[in-house]
Amino acid sequence: MKRIAALAIGFLAAAPASASIALFTDGRSMKISGYKLVDDIAIQLTFKNGGAMTMPLARIERILDDEIVEIEKTPEVKKMIEEGIFPKRSWRYDAARGPIFRSKYDKLIVEAGKKFDVDAALISAVMKAESDFNPREVSNKGARGLMQLMPATADRFGVVNSFEAKANINGGVRYLRWLLDAFEGNADLAVAGYNAGEGNVWKYNGVPPFRETLTYIRRVQAQAGVPVPHQTAVASVSSGAALSAERN
C-alpha cells in the first residue's frame, strides 16, 4: 500500500493522519496516537496521554488512519462513493481478463483466480497496490507479503507462511472472494473491505469515509485500468478542501 497510481490522488496519500484506529480480532477498536512493530510477533500501541501497551501482533486485525473525508461537504465525492467507480459487472474469473502486469507471479495469480473464482486483473491490481509484487514486503503495521496479509488475516484464511508466494496469494484471493460474496459482487465494497475491514463497510453501510480507504480504492481502480466515471470527484478531494480529521 505504498505507491500512488495517479497524480490526482497525491494529496490524499501524502499527509499522515495525526491519530490511528486499531481494530482488534475480537471486534473492539481503540483510538491510538501511534504504533510501532517491536519484533515479528509484537506491536506497541501508544496513546494520547503518553501511555503505551505492547501486545501480540496477532491480536490486531488492522490499523487505519483516523482521518475522515467530510462527504456531505463534497457532493462529487459523495456521488463517487454512492455510485462507485468500479463497473457493475461480474468480478468472477474470466480467462479473457488475465493479470494486468507482467510479473513472475502471473501464473500463481491465474491459478488462484480460477480456484477461488476471482477476476485475475483485480487480483493483480490489488497486489500491485499492496506490495508492488515484493514477496518480502512488511508494512509498518505488520502486514506481510504480496497481498499484505496481517497475521490475523493470514490465520483466518489458512496461511501458515505469509512470505511464501503461493500461500500468500491464495490467502489474499480467498479473502477477496469472501468479500465479493459478502457484498454481492460489488467491487467498490470488496476493495474497501480489503483495506478497512468488512466491519467498517457494514458500520458505514457502504464505503467507509476514511481518507486512507478512499485513496486505496482509487489506487486499485487505477491499477486495474478501469475508467474513472467521476474525475471531478477525485480532483475535488485531492485539492485538500474536502479533507478534515474528525475526532470523537
Residues with active-site annotation: 130
Strands 29-32 and 42-46: unpaired
List the end-to-end C-alpha distance of the chain, in Å, as a whole number.
27
150: which DSSP letter?
-
Cell numbers for 236: 475535488
DSSP states of 110-163:
HHHHHHHT--HHHHHHHHHHHHTT-TT-B-TT--BTTTTB-HHHHHHTT-S-TT
Cell numbers for 220: 486499485
Reduced to 3 states (helix: H, G, I; strand: E, B; else coil), residue 33 is coil
Considering just the CA atoms, what is the radius of gyration of the chain in Å?
17
- State CA 59 to chain mean position distance: 19
| Angstrom distance (rounded) from CA 234 to CA 228 | 9
| Angstrom distance (rounded) from CA 99 to CA 92 | 13
| Angstrom distance (rounded) from CA 25 to CA 134 | 26
Reduced to 3 states (helix: H, G, I; strand: E, B; else coil), residue 183 is coil
Reduced to 3 states (helix: H, G, I; strand: E, B; else coil), residue 169 is helix
